Amino acid sequence: MSAKAQKLKYIEKLISQCQKCQLYKTATNHVPGFGNPEAEIVFIGEAPGYHEDQQGLPFVGNSGKLLDKLLAKIGLVRQDVFVCNILKHRPPNNRDPQPLEIKTCTPFLKAQLQIIRPKVIITLGRFAMNYFFPGEYISKIKGQIKKIDWNKLKLTIIPVYHPSAGLRNGAMLQALEQDFQTIGKFLGKI
């Protein structure tokens, strides 16, 4: 096991023991994240849903199936990337993450990103986007390639709609597919 994989395992253990907010009480499993510890690309969603909570893995339900299709269209598979969420436990009834939950949980995300040290982050949905760009609107900056300095890391961040939005709305699905084409073209230039 690589040093990065060992460090991520340690973060996963901390997440499994976390009781800093109430979400652990209603969750079946913690969902720390999954993928390649050496990934240059990290996808960040908002919170685990029902299927993720049951399996302890991110993006395994219908949104995950769509994510896999979008990845395939740009020549990637899950083993190439790391996928995680802002929150590491499912909010009851899939409600939106609350500000205090985000504040409590994001140190785990920060630690994961500092271990992985990705070059590119794709934020899936507004909560993940707002972690890096507070106060922005996803409809305004989706699909844009943003370069930032974040915690001593030079990152390229590309916000896109959450796959669940694409499942509910045909126009958003079309926008998501177009944004993934932008991602694919950008990754060809790295």
Looking at residue 127, what is its pLDDT? Answer: 97
What CATH number is attached to the domain comprising 16?
Answer: 3.40.470.10
Give the pLDDT confidence score for residue 190 in this predicted structure: 57
Give the 3-state DSSP-derived string for the chain, with helices as H, strands as E and coil as C.
Answer: CCHHHHHHHHHHHHHHHCCCCCHHHHCCCCCCCEECCCCCEEEEECCCCHHHHHHCCCCCCHHHHHHHHHHHHCCCCHHHCEEEECCCCCCHHHCCCCHHHHHHHHHHHHHHHHHHCCCEEEEECHHHHHHHCCCCCHHHHCCCCEEEEECCEEEEEEEECCHHHHHHCHHHHHHHHHHHHHHHHHHCCC
- Mean pLDDT in residue range 153-164: 96
pTM: 0.96
> Domain count of the chain?
1
Q: Which domain holds residue 39?
A: 3-187
Give the mean pLDDT of the chain.
96
User: Residue 189 pLDDT more than 80?
Assistant: no
